[in-house]
Amino acid sequence: MNILICNDDGIDSPGIHALAKALKEVGKVTVVAPRTEQSAVGHAITMKIPLRVTEYYKDGKFFGYAVDGTPADCIKMGIRNILKFSPDIVVSGINNGSNAAINIIYSGTVSAAREAAIMDVPAIAISVTNHDAKDFSYAGRVAQKLTKLVSEKGLETGTLLNVNVPDVPEDEINGILLTKQGKSKWDDIYEQRDDPYGKKYYWLTGKLMDVDTQLETDQFAIKNNYVSVTPIHFDLTDYKTYEYLKSWNL
């Protein structure tokens, strides 16, 4: 099995090294990842400037290809110019910090997997629910399990699995749940500060408004120590509103 790996935390982040290690047990792994951290870049792609690709070594050993672009760029570049064929699966992560509910929209990790789905390659995005996570061993085994499952059973073209793993000791995990995207979202606040020259600048912060209360949502599942697996796609059509808008007689 040919596995293409990407992330948004950058090619030197511990999560992608843990993911590569875990998936080398189930297939041939190629790593193509951003040279630098690309969190919250969403599905940005680079068109106005060219990309560079360099080989990245860790402890004197070749690890993968670093692209000075976004996660979605890495998938396009990885499939078109590095592999030059479609891998059997793309796995993106392991991300530091959950990508559930509204965060799916902002996530570079998810967008890498989504770009794969756009290119008709089955894909998984996987995150651990802690920005300072240190131990990726259980999440690595979840990635192994789901990679094998997707490979055996297949996924509808254009669909990817968004996986979130609670950052708790493995014996506190309550199981793996199939979920839907939750509705929790951010209450944004811009902190206003003055720079050393007396000019104002604004820094985005805020808190998550946690409105999900059902185990069938990603946000509530991870809060209750379940691994959450959400199938997502890139058909953004709102079919309910589509029906409603017929009455507008545009």
For residues 34 and 54, give the distance between their C-alpha atoms in angstroms, rounded to a whole number.
10
Tell me which stretch binds a copy of itself (CB under 8 A): 18-26, 123-131, 164-172, 181-189. 181-189
Q: Is 130 in the site for a copy of itself (CB under 8 A)?
A: no
Q: Is 204 in the site for a copy of itself (CB under 8 A)?
A: yes
For residues 206 and 125, give the distance between their C-alpha atoms in angstroms, rounded to a whole number.
25
Tell me which stretch binds a copy of itself (CB under 8 A): 13-21, 22-30, 49-57, 88-96. 49-57
CB atoms within 10 A of CB 210: 14
Q: Is 84 in the site for a copy of itself (CB under 8 A)?
A: no
For residues 142 and 210, give the distance between their C-alpha atoms in angstroms, rounded to a whole number.
25
Residue 147 structure tokens: 């990679």
Q: Which of 168, 176, 208, 215 binds a copy of itself (CB under 8 A)?
A: 176
**102 or 168, CB closer to a copy of itself?**
102
Per-position x/- string for 6-35, each x denoting binding to a copy of itself as judged by CB under 8 A, each - no binding: ------------------------------
Per-position x/- string for 227-246, each x denoting binding to a copy of itself as judged by CB under 8 A, each - no binding: --xxxxxxxxxxxxxx-xxx
Contact 43, 115 (CB under 8 A): yes
**103 or 129, CB closer to a copy of itself?**
103
For residues 221 and 39, give the distance between their C-alpha atoms in angstroms, rounded to a whole number.
23
For residues 215 and 224, give the distance between their C-alpha atoms in angstroms, rounded to a whole number.
8
Residue 134, burial from CB neighbour count under 10 angstroms (0-12, 13-18, 19+): exposed
Q: Which of 10, 43, 87, 136 binds a copy of itself (CB under 8 A)?
A: 43
CB of 188 to a copy of itself, least distance (A): 5
For residues 154 and 150, give the distance between their C-alpha atoms in angstroms, rounded to a whole number.
5
C-alpha dist (Å) from residue 221 to 63, 96, 103, 203:
34, 18, 15, 30
Which residues form the interface with a copy of itself (CB under 8 A)? 37, 39-48, 50-53, 72-73, 76-77, 80-81, 102, 104-106, 111, 114, 118, 149, 153, 155-156, 159, 176-178, 180-181, 185, 188-190, 192-193, 199-204, 229-242, 244-246, 248, 250
